[in-house]
Each structure stands twice: as C-alpha cells, then as structure tokens.
C-alpha cells in the first residue's frame, strides 16, 4: 500500500474541481485530482449544448469539458483515476482512502463531486432501465424514432430532452408535477411552439409497465387524484439531481436533501474540508457558479493554511 502526502486533494473533475485545480496550481499547492470516471468533466459531458457559459456561446458540453481538462493538463495538474472511499478527519490532516487501495494524507480536502440523476421512484423504473427507461435523451432517443414517449421533469434538462426528442419521436408527453417550469424562459417558449409536445401539468408517474420493454405508464394527477394510463414506448427521466455527498456524512453538516452546508467561501463545518460546485448548498447550480466555487475554495484554503 502506497501512502502519499499532499497539500490538497480535490475529489471530482467537473468544472468546480478543475477550476480549483487551476487555482491550486497557481497557488503552488502540492495537489492531486481524483476522478472516478475515466473521462471526467462531470455532468457537462453529457450536456448536448451549453448556451450560457460566457464567451463560448453554443459550445458542446463534451467539448467544454475537454477544454477544461486541457487547461488543467497544460498546468500539469496530476490526476488519479480512482474514487475516494472514506475521509477520516485527523485534525491537522485528513486521511483519504482511495478505491484503488492507496491512502493519501492531505492538509485540505475539496469535495467537488457534484450531483447525479435523481430517480423517480415509480414502480417499474428499475426493472425497465435500458428497456425503455432512460436518463439520457441524446444517447437513447434514436431507439424511439417515430414512437410516442414521455419525459418527466420541469427543469432545463427535461425541456431540452423534450425538444430533442420532438425531432425524433412521433409524440412526446411532458409530465410535470407542477403547472410551471423551472426551465429557462427561452426553452419554455420553444416547447410551447412545438406541436408534438403535449404538456401534462400536475401529473406524476406512478408506474412504468410492459412485457419485455416499456409499453405504458400510469399517471396520477396530484390535485384531483385522477389516474390515467398512457401508451408509450419510452420514458425519459429528468427530474433533477441529488448531491454526491455520502462521503461527508457524519463529518460535515448537510441540509435535509444532502447538500453540504457552505457559503461562497466553500468552507464546511469541518475544518480543512471544503466543498465546491453542485454538491454544496447554493441557489444557482450552473457551470459558471461551479467554476467560481473552485476559485473561491482555493482562496479559502490558502487563507486557512
């Protein structure tokens, strides 16, 4: 077993983690970035198009992730292709056990693990995963060419998915538990003007069913309690995200949804442990705010040294 000592261990290589890595290099910190996926980049990797990152209008999510990685590589940021299993707070230093069996001791740990797709919790959701239930419209839309599908959700991703699928599928039911969307107004406008998207407000998916693959969904109206069954070949789930904060349970304070409590300075309730990006409590989870967190976290780490 190999033991290493670092000033800073950054867990996650999305925009927050990589921005922190760049600022860490500039602060001449002896640092390492842990990335569990072989190609990091976080959620933006699977975003088809990014329209709101300043200066790079319309860039593909994958391309933007590559640019972030190139930037870190140009500064010779070291990466380890492994995840963190546990963090032990030993006071002046933290011990990070890695999935590859190694251990790193670090003065500071920055958790930038982001968030992942939330599950609906509907009956049949797991049984039909990959058999009509999908969390990636751009990956799996082609399997539903000319068919009828449902999209669940009301945020940017749900509306983007519905719009993408409107060009591939015969009809899309957009199922949302409220009558208004969180999504950007421009997306709402586009959805309204797309004739093969039917909006079903106040409905929640209770069941996903079929024989070998998805054939129907059962919806329930959360106002009138009325149930209805719709014939669909696929269900795309985009109901939001949940934080990847498990590793800090019992170490740092979290809110009731599992986001690690921190303000703009990215300090957690545990000294020497910092959080950046979607995993922390904040009101706006975007690439630009994640990048900002990365910079602020390193500023705090430097101040606290």
Partner 1 sequence: MAKRVSGEEFQTEVLSAALPVLVEFYSDSCIPCKQLSPILGGIEDDYEDKIKVVKVNVNFDADLAAEYKVMASPTILFFKEGKEVERIRGLVKRPELENVVKNFI
If the CB atoms of residues 90 and 145 are measured against partner 1, the closer one turns out to be: 145
Contact between 68 and 40 under an 8 Å Cβ cutoff? The reply is no
Contacts of 6 (CB under 8 A, 6+ apart): 30, 31, 32, 104, 105, 106, 107
For the CB of residue 92, give the shortest distance to partner 1 in the complex, in Å. Answer: 35
CB under 8 A: which stretch of 10-18, 37-45, 252-260, 262-270 binds partner 1? Answer: 37-45
Interface with partner 1, residue 211, by CB under 8 A: no
Is 54 an interacting residue with respect to partner 1 (CB under 8 A)? no
Does position 212 bind partner 1 by CB under 8 A? yes
Asked if residue 134 binds partner 1 (CB under 8 A), the reply is yes
Q: Rounded to the nearest 10 degrees, how much is the dihedral formed by the CA atoms of 225, 208, 229, 181? A: 60
Q: Alpha-carbon distance 301 to 9, whole Å?
A: 11
Does the footprint of partner 1 cover residue 295 (CB under 8 A)? no
CA distances from 178 to 117, 137, 141, 155, 222 (A): 19, 22, 25, 11, 9
Give catalytic status of residue 266 as yes or no.
no
107-137 in b/e burial notation, b at 16+ Cβ within 10 A? bbbbbbbbbebeebebebbeebeeebbbbeb
CA distance 276 to 292: 9
93, 118, 119, 138: which one contacts partner 1 (CB under 8 A)?
Answer: 138
Near partner 1 by CB under 8 A, which window of 42-50, 85-93, 119-127, 289-297? Answer: 42-50
Q: How far apart are CA 185 and CA 246, in angstroms?
A: 34
Binding mask 68-87 for partner 1 (x = CB under 8 A): --------------------
**Looking at 73, 90, 139, 304, which residue is catalytic?**
139
Among 54, 92, 142, 284, the residue binding partner 1 under the rule CB under 8 A is: 142
Residue 75 or 139: the one with the smaller Cβ distance to partner 1 is 139
Q: Which of residues 92 and 142 has its CB atom nearest to partner 1 in the complex?
A: 142
Taking the least distance from each CB to partner 1, the nearer of 131 and 230 is: 131
For residue 179, indicate whether it is catalytic: no
Query: How many chain residues touch partner 1 (CB under 8 A)?
Result: 24
Residues contacting residue 113 through CB under 8 Å, at least 6 positions apart: 11, 12, 243, 244, 245, 247, 279
Q: Is 213 in the site for partner 1 (CB under 8 A)?
A: yes
Rounded to the nearest whole angstrom, what is the least distance from the CB of residue 165 to partner 1 in the complex?
11
Burial of 16 (0-12, 13-18, 19+ CB in 10 A): buried
| Residue 140 annotated to the active site | yes
Other C-beta atoms lying within 10 Å of the C-beta of residue 268: 21
Q: Which residues bind partner 1 (CB under 8 A)?
A: 37-39, 45-46, 48, 61-62, 130-132, 134, 136, 138-143, 145, 164, 212-213, 234
Give catalytic residues, as residue numbers. Answer: 136, 139-140
């Amino acid at each position: 077993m190999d033991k290493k000592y670092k000033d800073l261990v950054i867990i996650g290589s999305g925009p927050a983690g990589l921005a922190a890595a760049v600022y860490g290099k500039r602060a001449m910190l002896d640092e390492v970035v842990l990335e569990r996926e072989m190609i990091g980049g976080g959620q933006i990797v699977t975003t088809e198009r990014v329209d709101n990152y300043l200066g790079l209008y319309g860039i593909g999510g994958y391309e933007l992730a590559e640019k972030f990685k190139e930037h870190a590589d140009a500064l010779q940021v070291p990466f380890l292709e492994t995840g963190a299993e546990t963090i032990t707070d030993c006071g002046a230093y933290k011990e990070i056990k890695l999935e590859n069996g190694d251990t790193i001791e670090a003065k500071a740990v920055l958790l930038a693990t982001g968030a992942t797709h939330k599950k609906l919790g509907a009956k049949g959701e797991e049984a039909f995963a990959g058999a009509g239930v999908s969390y990636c419209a751009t990956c799996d839309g082609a399997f539903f060419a000319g068919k009828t599908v449902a999209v669940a959700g009301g945020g940017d991703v749900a509306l983007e998915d519905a719009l993408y699928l409107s060009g591939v599928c015969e009809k899309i039911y957009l199922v949302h538990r409220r009558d208004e969307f969180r999504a950007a107004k421009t997306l709402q406008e586009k959805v309204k003007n797309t004739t093969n998207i039917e909006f079903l407000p106040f409905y929640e998916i209770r069941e996903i069913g079929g024989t070998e693959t998805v054939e129907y969904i059962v919806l329930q109206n959360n106002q009138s309690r009325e149930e209805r069954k719709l014939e669909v070949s696929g269900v795309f789930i985009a109901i939001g995200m949940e934080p990847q904060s498990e590793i800090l349970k019992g170490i740092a304070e979290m809110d009731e949804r599992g986001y690690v409590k921190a303000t703009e300075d990215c300090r957690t309730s545990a000294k020497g442990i910092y959080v950046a990006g979607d995993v922390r409590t904040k009101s706006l989870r975007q690439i630009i705010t994640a990048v900002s967190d990365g910079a602020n976290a390193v500023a705090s780490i430097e101040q606290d040294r």
